[in-house]
Structure 1
Amino acid sequence: MRVPTAVAATALPALALAVLGSSHPAMLTPESAPWWRDLHLIGIVLFPLLALGPWAVVRASRPAGPVGWVLEGLTVVLGFVYAGFYTALDVLAGVGGGHQTMRLGPGPWVASLFEIADVVTVPGVYAYLAATVLAAVLALVRAPGAWRLLAAVGALFAVVGAWSFLTSHIYYPYGVATMVMLALGHTLLLVAATRRPATRRHRRATSPAPAEEAAATP
């Protein structure tokens, strides 16, 4: 994957969710229910794409050989776990809660949907945190020289963002800030992991090339 494509896949879903979260209703009421429902319908498409961030970083920084394939495969599995369980949250508390409130008004069914949604989402958000930590560690190991400082900054933003994601969803302002941190953190990790160490010339600029040396030999 080309670096610009990987950066776009890493940053754009989280930034789109930050924009979406800026209009997330603070409370589910009969008045906010239509947008509550429709917002989470959009989220069903966008939230799974967050898994591209850790995966892109791991793919760029994994070691060669079987170990690298195992680490990338683990990241993919964690991404699937996150996407599946977090989609259940959107469907239950988002689409279901909003639609039921539109049709029936406030009632105990809303609290019941929120309760099961909170339970179902736990494996998903912890899987995302694990994938992010794995990506951060690999990028820190792979980044050369001074680029490791950039990777450290990215790791801080990404891991703190993934930890905040455990409870923040995309509610304004903390959830929006969480999405921005994930976008920035994974992008910095990706950029640092794709840098290559500068090669040093072991010959002086004035030294003759091997062919010239052979020609000069009597």
Structure 2
Amino acid sequence: MIGSRWRRGVFFAVPGLLLAGFGAAHPAHLDTATASRWASLHVVLLPVFPLLAVAQWLLLTSAPPWLRWPGRLAAFAFAAFYGGLDAVAGIAAGTVVHAQHGATPVVGAVFEIGDLLGSIGAACFLAATISIVVAAALRARWRAAPGAVVLLLASVSFLDSHIFWPRGVFTMIGVAVGMSLLSLAGERGLGVLESPVRDR
């Protein structure tokens, strides 16, 4: 589907690495000085966060249906709800602070709904990750262990780290490494399972 093994590994690492890079450039605080950059950065991030959901969707391709479809539904919900966080607590909050020349109670209300959307989205990301890990374990056995551990730990960290430096950046690097390792472990597992068929 995605060409050679190393290209496959890179393909699944790209979304997390992109977000780690944006996280390193993300302002630590929203105030008058950072408001414009805060809003602009989240406009750029709008099409980037859903790439994580695309990667999850593809990692579930070979999963049994009872794992594939709940996992893909969770990945879709992550993209929808986390995109809401990006728009509300990112673009809207930055725009409000910039227009009002400082934080006001309005910004607090914006962050409150944004945090709710983000929490739901991150929980859905974790749910999709669990489906991916179970499917990889069924398919690749022990080969899935390194990627599974890294991706699970990163997905739990993502529940409250967002992509902020430093923890959020390392969380996204963990997502990148975990997805890449699981994609390669799944491919090797498939090869092992299919080799007797090719030998006949």
TM over 0.5: yes
Identity %: 35
**2:104 equivalent in structure 1:** 107
| Contact persistence 1:10–1:56 (CA under 8 A) | no
What are structure 1's unaligned runs of at least 5 residues? 63-67, 201-218
| Residue 197 (structure 1) shift | 1.5
Are 1:142 and 2:139 counterparts?
Answer: yes
- Please identify runs of 4+ aligned residues in structure 1 that moved more than 3 A: 3-9
* Conserved? CA contact 2:24–2:169, under 8 Å: yes
Larger radius of gyration: 1
For structure 2, list consecutive stretches of 5 or more residues without a partner in the other structure.
Answer: none
CA distance in 2, matches of 1:141, 1:3: 23
The whole-number CA distance in structure 2 between the counterparts of 1:3 and 1:89 is 34
Match of 2:20 in 1: 18
Aligned residues: 191
After TM superposition, the score normalised by the length of structure 2 is 0.88
Task: Give the one of 194, 197, 200 matched to 2:192.
Answer: 197
Q: Deviations over 1:20-46 (max 9, x none)?
A: 000111100111111100111111110
Cα distance in 2, alignment partners of residues 2 and 91 from structure 1: 31
CA RMSD of aligned residues (A): 1.9
Residue 172 of structure 2 corresponds to residue 170 of structure 1: no
TM-score, with structure 1 as normaliser? 0.82
Q: CA deviation at 1:58?
A: 1.8
CA distance in structure 2 between the aligned counterparts of 1:85 and 1:23, rounded to whole angstroms? 23
Aligned partner of 1:204 in structure 2 is none
User: 1:107: Cα distance to partner?
Assistant: 1.1
Specify which structure has the higher proportion of helix: 2
Query: What's the counterpart of residue 75 of structure 2?
Result: 79
Partner of 1:27: 29
Q: Which residue of 1 aligns with 2:45?
A: 43
Aligned position for 1:188: 181
Q: Which moved more, 1:15-24 or 1:47-56?
A: 47-56
1:139 to 1:3, Cα distance in 2 relative to 1, 3 A: farther
> Which range moves more in the overlay, 4-13 or 185-194?
4-13
**Structure 2 Cα separation of the partners of residues 115 and 9 of structure 1:** 34
Pair 1:152 & 2:145 matched: yes
Q: Secondary structure at the match of 1:30?
A: coil
Which one-letter code corresponds to 2:164 in the other structure?
Y
Tell me what 1:208 maps to: none
Residues 138-163 of structure 1: CA distance to partner in whole angstroms, max 9, x if unpaired?
A: 1112116xxx24x1010011011111
Cα distance in 2 for residues equivalent to 1:183 and 1:118? 24
